[in-house]
Amino acid sequence: MTHGVISPAATDALEDWLTTIKALNNAADNTIDAYRTDLLGYLAFITGHFGDATGLAPLKQVKVTDIRAWMAHERGRGVSARSLARSLSAVKSFYRWLSERDSFDATVVLSARSPRFQKKLPRPLAEDAARAMIETVEFQSGNEWGAARDAAVITLLYGCGLRISEALSLTGADVPLPDVLRITGKGNKTRIVPVIAAARIAVARYLRICPHPPAPTAPLFRAVRGGPLRPRAIQKAMEATRMQLGLPATATPHAMRHSFATHLLSAGGDLRAIQELLGHASLSTTQAYTSVDTARLMEVYDKTHPRA
């Protein structure tokens, strides 16, 4: 099966759809790029499948067998069930938009069953392991200010539930850290995050000894030569630390964010409030992050929605 040459009409429709979802959903650039890649693969397959038919005709004539052929082709070239499910979701979203625009029945595509896959739940660290990570990461740096910097970043991840990209996007304009931070996360969604005292202290300590003075438009966390600190630097520091502490490979910067949510929930935090703190659009995403048992979730639900 060879891929066909995508018609200009199909290419234009794809770009129109991407422009629409970016405007309506404020989707991040990397999300748009992933959608484009998924759809280009699908469009190329369907075009070839219908013998390089022109225009949008092939897309509107798709049958169940055609969708199955595409999915079989994807699995045959080594695409995982998880990735194929994501691609199918993008295809359905595109068809939903296209069928409304061009008034045709897209039920065949929209009802296609997604491949099953085992969802990987994030693994938070135990509370003592999270504390040990913050205390021990300082020993991985070759200089005092670099050690204080790494500890400050990880304290923000665990103490405030920030993504590593969010912590590293802070600038000199954000210091001294206030009681609450306005964070712009995925999809340019803004949320308010309380800043714990330990995070303010850790950042203040780093700033006192950092050889690069903070500037309003410059990154708060600097690399050795003064440029912006890269996520890989923190990842490497945590890799060395987890080996020293005997922690599993799942002890990553993102695991500190998972740990923040899990420990907050286990301490009696409200699931909806934690959803807001993490910046999740969906409560189900927060449930996966917290990785709590059903009994604990039901306890939270009962408090939120008391039965008469």
Of residues 35, 42, 95, 289, which has the active-site annotation?
Answer: 289
Of residues 49, 149, 163, 200, which has the active-site annotation?
Answer: 163
Of residues 49, 149, 222, 257, which has the active-site annotation?
Answer: 257
Active site residue 186: yes
Rounded-to-integer distance, Cα 151 and Cα 270, Å: 28
Cis link prior to 219 (omega < 30° from 0)? no
Of residues 186, 191, 205, 263, which has the active-site annotation?
Answer: 186
Active site residue 123: no
Active site residue 42: no
In sequence order, the β-bridge partners of residue 29 are none
| 105 contact partners, CB below 8 Å, separation of at least 6 | 99
Of residues 60, 73, 191, 254, which has the active-site annotation?
Answer: 254
Of residues 149, 200, 242, 280, which has the active-site annotation?
Answer: 280
Tokens matching residue 11: 């290419």
Active site residue 257: yes
Phi-psi region of 225 (alpha: psi -120 to 50; beta: other; left: phi over 0): alpha
Active site residue 212: no
DSSP state of 212: S
3-state helix, strand, coil in the chain (%, to 5): 65, 5, 35
Active site residue 205: no
Rounded-to-integer distance, Cα 57 and Cα 51, Å: 11
Which active-site residues does the annotation give?
163, 186, 254, 257, 280, 289
